[in-house]
Amino acid sequence: MAGRDDDKPTSEEKRRVYVVFFVIAFAIDLAVGLIREGTYAPTLIGGAIMITSVLFYVYSLIRDR
């Protein structure tokens, strides 16, 4: 059972994933907004994903201290 901790992602890896989710959601929202309206207009699901990823990122920072 000593090797179980080796498979767990570190907090830095988790935060990297949160940033990737934010960037992907923002890029999709930006592309959809530019295609539909010509300006950036966040969608509900994109905004929810971005807000959630930011909250998880901040929680990870606070918990790591």
CA torsion 54-48-19-21 (nearest 10°) is 160
| 16 Cβ contact partners less than 8 Å away, ≥ 6 residues apart | none
pTM reported for the whole predicted model: 0.83
The residue-averaged pLDDT of 36-48 equals 89
Residue 42: name the closest of 24, 55, 54, 30 by CA.
30
Phi and psi, residue 64, nearest 5°: -70, -25
pLDDT for 5-19, tens place per residue? Answer: 678 889 999 999 999
